[in-house]
């Protein structure tokens, strides 16, 4: 993943709160970006019943705001985190909670290189799995690291069960190229479930969060005054993101879901 694409520009989206969320957010009750970001993080953590006794693998911790949330609200003190963006890792390290959190400036595809001790109990990937190169390989490595019965929770994009016309295929290809998403990562739920099975995981929960994520994010962006705090380059980035997710919601181009899998 490009370190220029994944940087700390999202800090401006959090204003006036002193937070550093960078996910799409869950907009069921939230009205501001920071609150929506925290709500999405809670949904994933609650889905795997994250707790104080866990050693968590966080496969994409962004600028680190979720690390603070895991510590503050879930009493988590042991974590191994990966993120390929140096600017985000450095920012997260500057705000680490007083806990045994080990952060690595590596992409999820490099998980095999990471020594983890003590053993993991759970894993998650908040709003980042669609960016993973070799996503199936990442899940296979996670499965090897989890104990029997261990859970991984994540959010991801997936395709609806409908025919991919030439026009829709072209749109998806363009979106993937612009948003740094490997095209092979956009698959139907049936294909996704088969991929997880090959990786050694059993899908135990899948919920469609699209209505509370995609279009609401686009609407917030269009109405928000935070646009004026961003550089032209970053403003264009989020203009394009809003257009893409709004179009996806209207045309059912792709969906956004919560996933939970277990190592058998």
Structural domain range at position 29: 9-262
Number of domains in the chain: 1
Quick one: which of 222, 184, 188 has its CA closest to 208? 188
SS3 47: helix
Domain assignment of residue 2, yes or no: no
For 74-90, the pLDDT digits (tens) are: 999 999 999 999 999 99
In the predicted model, residues of the chain with pLDDT beneath 70 are: 1-5
Domain assignment of residue 256, yes or no: yes
Domain assignment of residue 4, yes or no: no
Domain assignment of residue 99, yes or no: yes
Q: What is the CATH number of the domain that holds 230?
A: 3.40.50.150
How far is C-alpha 122 from the chain's CA centre?
16
- The residue count for the chain: 264
Decide: 42 and 69 in contact? Cβ < 8 Å.
yes
What is the pTM assigned to this prediction? 0.95
Domain assignment of residue 22, yes or no: yes
Q: What is the pLDDT at residue 234?
A: 85
DSSP 188: B
Domain assignment of residue 3, yes or no: no
Q: What is the mean pLDDT of the chain?
A: 94
For 115-135, the pLDDT digits (tens) are: 999 999 999 999 999 999 999
> Which stretches within 99-231 are classed as H helix?
135-145, 166-179, 189-199, 214-223
């Amino acid at each position: 993943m490009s370190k220029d694409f994944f940087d700390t520009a999202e800090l401006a989206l959090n204003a006036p709160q002193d937070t550093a969320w960078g996910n799409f957010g869950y907009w069921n009750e939230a009205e501001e970006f920071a609150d929506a970001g925290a709500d999405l993080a809670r949904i994933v953590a609650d889905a795997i019943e994250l707790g104080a006794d866990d050693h968590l693998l966080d496969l994409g911790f962004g600028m680190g705001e979720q690390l603070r949330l895991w510590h503050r609200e879930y009493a988590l003190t042991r974590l191994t985190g990966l993120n390929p963006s140096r600017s985000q890792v450095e920012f997260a390290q500057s705000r680490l909670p007083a806990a045994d959190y080990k952060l690595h400036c590596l992409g999820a595809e490099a998980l095999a290189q990471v020594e983890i001790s003590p053993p993991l109990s759970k894993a998650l990937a908040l709003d980042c799995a669609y960016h993973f190169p070799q996503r199936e390989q990442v899940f296979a490595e996670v499965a090897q690291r989890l104990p029997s019965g261990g859970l991984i929770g994540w959010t991801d994009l997936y395709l609806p069960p409908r025919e991919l016309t030439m026009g829709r295929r072209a749109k998806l290809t363009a979106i993937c190229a612009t948003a740094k998403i490997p095209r092979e990562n956009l698959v139907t739920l049936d294909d996704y479930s088969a991929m997880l099975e090959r990786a050694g995981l059993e899908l135990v929960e899948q919920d469609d969060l699209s209505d509370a994520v995609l279009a609401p994010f686009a609407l917030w962006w269009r109405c928000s005054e935070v646009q004026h705090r961003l550089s032209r380059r970053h403003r264009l980035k989020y203009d394009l993101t809003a257009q893409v997710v709004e179009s996806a919601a209207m045309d059912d181009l792709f969906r956004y879901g919560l996933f939970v899998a277990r190592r058998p």
